[in-house]
Amino acid sequence: MAKKEEVKEKEIVEEKAENIVNNAANDSETPNDNGTTEEEAKEKSAEELLQDQIEELNNKNAEINDKYIRLSAEFDNYRRRTLKEKGELIKTAGGDAIADILPIVDDFERGLDAMDKAEDVAAVKEGVSLIYNKFKEFIKNKGITEIEAHHQDFDTDFHEALTKIPAPEEGLKGKVIDVVQKGYKIDEKVIRFAKVVVGE
């Protein structure tokens, strides 16, 4: 008797479970208010979600492209402006240097006029010497210094050897014996190599 009741209870439970599954299946296939099934509605909402994401990504992409184009245009303008400023700076710097040389040119012209009328050679020499010292002071103020060469070790970074001759003394081998043309540098940058004769 107990076994029959157990079997009957089992059948009832199975029947209830089957009804629940069938009801769930029917619910998903039954159309809702707008005439679509639940699965179709889920598919539609997934599609709409994807469309929204695509639209959002397209908007972000357009925004990034706009920013890139603006940044590129700004950089081009900056580059053109700095090139123009650099060119103007170079011209102005050259103009400043020339303006500082003009008083020395004036002194030379006065000296040349004085030479024609001068009878005292010592006074002419003194005048030329003053102009020379003024010019040396000018180049010193511009940061231009003379390259030390006479009796210095020959250095290809600063000296240009024109020729080699036998050294008059043992201690002058590999050293600069004579300077044919002085060399100059601004800070450590050579603007003209010293042309020298080297002893061997």
pLDDT, tens digit only, all 200 positions of the chain:
555 666 666 676 567 656 665 655 555 444 445 555 667 667 778 888 899 999 999 999 999 999 999 999 999 999 999 999 998 887 777 777 788 888 888 988 888 888 888 788 888 888 889 999 999 998 888 889 999 998 899 999 999 999 999 988 888 888 999 999 999 999 889 999 999 999 98
Give the pLDDT confidence score for residue 28 in this predicted structure.
Answer: 46
Give the pLDDT confidence score for residue 30 in this predicted structure.
Answer: 47
| DSSP classification of residue 172 | G
Q: For the chain, list the domains and their CATH numbers.
A: 68-142 (3.90.20.20), 145-200 (2.30.22.10)
183-190 own/partner pairs: CB under 8 Å, 24+ apart: 183/146, 183/147, 183/149, 183/158, 183/159, 184/139, 184/144, 184/145, 184/146, 184/147, 185/144, 185/145, 185/147, 185/158, 186/142, 186/143, 186/144, 186/145, 187/143, 190/147, 190/157, 190/158
99-107 own/partner pairs: CB under 8 Å, 24+ apart: 100/138, 100/141, 100/142, 101/138, 103/134, 104/131, 104/134, 104/135, 104/138, 107/131, 107/134
**Closest residue by Cα to residue 161 from 187, 190, 191, 183:** 183
* Residue 35 Rama label (left phi>0; alpha psi -120 to 50; beta): left
In this structure, is the dihedral angle defined by the CA atoms of residues 197, 198, 199 and 200, taken in order, positive or negative? negative
Residue type at 36 in one-letter notation:
T
Answer yes or no: are the C-beta atoms of 159 and 176 closer than 8 Å. yes
Give the pLDDT confidence score for residue 29 in this predicted structure.
Answer: 46
Residue type at 104 in one-letter notation:
I
